[in-house]
Structure formats: C-alpha cells, structure tokens
C-alpha cells in the first residue's frame, strides 16, 4: 500500500529512508516524547533501526488517507463484464472435439449436455475442459440467444469427480493467456487465496458461465449434487423433473462448498444457503422451488422441453443485447448497498442501452408497426 500511494516520491527521500527497515508494529514512542535536538523546529525524529517514530507513522497514515480519498476506489463504476483472458478454447462449437459433453446448435439456441451417464455425469477434467471451451465460445456467439444445459442418464450430475485434481487445461495456451494466468496467480497470492491455478480457473469458469450473454436454462433431468447444484445457481432459469433431489454434501467429508457459494447465496439467500451448506442434507425439488433455486417443476424431461419451447417464444420477442444488458445490470447491483457507486452504474447502463442500435431499431419498428429485426428469425428449439 505504501509503494502504491507514495510511489511518485523520490526513492532517496527521507521518508523512504525511514521506511527501509519499517516494522509497522514497532512504534518508537520514546522518540516522539524526547526533547527535539537543536535545529529541528521542535519536531522529534527517530533514526532507530527497525523502528519509526509516531510522528512519521502519523505522516504516512495521513498521506495514505489523502491518496485514497483522491482515488476513491470505492466509487468507481462497477464492471460486470466477463473476463475471457484466462483461457483460449481448443475447438469451436462447429468443430467440437469433446465426447464427455455434447453440443447441439439450432437457430438461436444451443444445448450443452453432460455425457458421462455411467458415472452419473460427475465433473472430471474432461467435462471441465469441455465446459471451458463451450463457455468461451458462447461469449462470441451473439447469434445464439438461449443456451440449455442438461445431462444424459438418470442424474443431472453427481458433482465433481473425487479423483479430479482440479487441473483441466491440458492444451497449450497462447502467450497472452499465459501472461494473464501469471497475473491471476500474483493477484491471488496477494489476496491470500490458493496458489492452485486449477482451482482459480474453476472459479473463472463459473463466473464466465454466470455472465453468458445468452439466456441460460438448466433442464434438470435428475438429481444434482455438490458443484452441480452451484452450477444451477449460475443459470437464469432452472426447470427440474419432480423426482430430482439436490444436495451440497461437502461438510459430511470435512469440506466446505466455497467456490460456488457466492452464486448459491445470490440465488437462495444467506439463510437458506447456510441451511444447505451447513447441513449437507438432500432437498426435494419442491423445497428448492420455494427457496428460489428452481423456477419450474415438470413431471418428465419431455414436458421440460415443452416449457423451453414456451420460453423461447417469449425470448424471441426480446432484444438479445437488451437481455444481455439486463443480466449485466442485475449482476452489477445484486447484493450491493444502494450507494452513489450503484447509482452511477445504473445510470451508465441506462445511457448505454438508450443509445444502442437495438433500442433505435426497436422504436422505429414499434412506430411503423412491423416486426423487430430480432423477431425475423425465431428461436427454434431442437427438442
């Protein structure tokens, strides 16, 4: 903090000299109370090795306060955009190379389907790598307006495979990505976070999923456990079969669900999140519907696909960039105190959408009573 706030001062200044062996807990009170030597205008100073006088410490604190008051980092406008610098995909949606996750693409819609039914769709390195490829690719596919996540077999997902070591990036990354990853590790180290790059990239993956520009729907074909429940909390809408159960059992193994906790809390609230994470018990679909994790309950997967068709019909009438902006808006204000910083953010978002091409086209089409450009190609589900 000292180097950040005072970096513009000369490296040979008296203040830097005093800081050379500074221990912030070693305050030389005796120096501050001792008589000042002649020629110092009555100000006591200390040259004691390993310590700094109270006068100097007060001066440093005052300098830091003034610098922070000038920068006002707490008042900077929120940036809810996804960070895509951490990963470069190994394939595209058109040239898909993963067997453990299936991709289906239709007009305006894509399906991401877990495909490890023999292991209850447990999330291993292969599924994580496929999800990373899919998430980064989807961020560049503005033609796709809805993404459906589901699973093959009897379960949506049994959570992360216990044999998974956390590392899922197995292909070489460009130099720009390697630099970004090195900076990520440095920031994590300064914050006291895990030095395990694999765990950091898992956190980046879930953040990238939560901020997909498309409207995301999970069609839960069966029970979900652990990280799979957290993944559902990243979705915009969750449709579940009536027979599914949901559990965060990490505490039963002496662990805690940390990486996805922010999304779970945002979805169900702190009180219910404590109940879910702290008890490790299995919750019914009706309990999760009341908690807010589940949006719609259906008897069968096919009925779930019918619900998706209804939602796609509604989404066809919505401006795709407006849908993206609404997600960014909610992500930016969620859980924030209503401060000037939030007011500036909402004002900036309003200014952005008001002058957008989509807004202009929409107003013209309303006045001319003709279909809007995004309605010309309706979202067409494949199931």
Lowest-confidence segment of 18-22, 92-96, 139-143, 182-186 by average pLDDT: 18-22
Tally Cβ neighbours within 10 Å of residue 115.
18
- What CA–CA distance (Å, rounded) separates 382 from 380? 7
Task: Using DSSP, state whether 251 is helix, strand or coil.
Answer: helix
If you average pLDDT over each of 15-19, 168-172, 192-196, 212-216, which comes out highest? Answer: 212-216
How far CA 229 is from CA of 32, 41, 119, 137, 264, in Å, comes to: 59, 67, 17, 23, 8
- What CA–CA distance (Å, rounded) separates 380 from 313? 8
Query: Residue 208's closest CA among 335, 333, 83?
Result: 83
Confidence tier at 298 by pLDDT (50, 70, 90): very high
- For 115, half-sphere exposure in the C-beta direction (CA atoms, 13 angstrom radius) is 13
Confidence tier at 37 by pLDDT (50, 70, 90): low
Confidence (pLDDT) at 35: 55
Confidence (pLDDT) at 51: 67
Tell me the sheet residues that pair with 112. 103, 149
- What CA–CA distance (Å, rounded) separates 10 from 17? 10
**DSSP alpha helix (H) spans, the chain:** 2-6, 14-19, 29-33, 54-71, 125-139, 175-190, 197-210, 227-233, 261-268, 270-279, 285-291, 301-316, 320-333, 340-354, 357-368
Return the CA Rg of the chain.
27
Cα angle 273-119-239, degrees, rounded to a multiple of 5: 45
Tally Cβ neighbours within 10 Å of residue 110.
22
Confidence (pLDDT) at 166: 86
Cβ 178 vs Cβ 87: under 8 Å: no
Confidence tier at 75 by pLDDT (50, 70, 90): low
Cβ 122 vs Cβ 159: under 8 Å: yes
Confidence (pLDDT) at 104: 98
Please state the separation of Cα 339 from the chain's center in Å.
22
Cα angle 98-104-106, degrees, rounded to a multiple of 5: 150
């Amino acid at each position: 903090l000292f180097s950040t706030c005072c970096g513009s001062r000369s490296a040979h200044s008296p203040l830097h000299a005093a800081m050379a062996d500074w221990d912030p807990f070693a305050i030389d009170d005796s120096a501050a109370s001792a008589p000042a030597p002649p020629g110092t205008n009555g100000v006591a100073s200390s040259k004691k090795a390993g310590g700094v006088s109270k006068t100097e410490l007060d001066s440093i604190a005052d300098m830091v306060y003034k610098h922070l008051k000038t920068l006002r980092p707490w008042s900077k406008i929120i940036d809810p955009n996804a960070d895509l610098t951490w990963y470069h995909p190994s394939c595209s949606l058109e040239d898909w190379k993963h067997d453990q996750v299936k991709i289906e693409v239709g007009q305006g819609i894509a399906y991401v389907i877990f495909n490890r039914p023999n292991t209850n769709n447990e999330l291993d390195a292969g599924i994580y790598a496929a999800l990373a490829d899919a998430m980064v690719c989807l961020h560049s596919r503005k033609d796709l307006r809805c993404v459906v996540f589901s699973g093959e077999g009897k379960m949506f997902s049994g959570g992360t495979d216990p044999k998974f070591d956390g590392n899922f990036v197995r292909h070489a990354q460009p130099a720009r990505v390697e630099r970004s990853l090195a900076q990520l590790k440095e920031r994590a180290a300064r914050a006291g976070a895990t030095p395990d790059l694999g765990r950091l990239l898992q956190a980046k993956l879930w953040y990238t999923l939560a901020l997909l520009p498309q409207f995301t729907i999970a069609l839960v074909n069966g029970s979900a456990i652990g990280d799979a429940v957290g993944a559902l909390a990243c979705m915009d809408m969750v449709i579940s079969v009536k027979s599914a159960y949901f559990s965060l059992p990490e505490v039963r193994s002496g662990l805690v669900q940390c990486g996805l906790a922010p999304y779970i809390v945002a979805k169900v609230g702190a009180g219910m999140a404590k109940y879910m994470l702290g008890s490790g018990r299995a919750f019914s679909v009706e309990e999760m519907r009341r908690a807010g994790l589940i949006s719609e309950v259906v008897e069968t997967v096919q009925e779930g696909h019918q619900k998706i068709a209804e939602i796609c019909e509604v989404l066809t009438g919505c401006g795709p960039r407006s849908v993206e902006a609404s997600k960014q808006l909610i992500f930016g204000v969620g859980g924030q105190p209503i401060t000037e910083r939030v007011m500036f953010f909402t004002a900036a978002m309003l200014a952005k959408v008001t002058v957008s091409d989509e807004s202009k086209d929409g107003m013209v089409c309303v006045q001319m009573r003709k279909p809007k450009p995004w309605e010309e190609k309706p979202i067409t589900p494949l199931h």
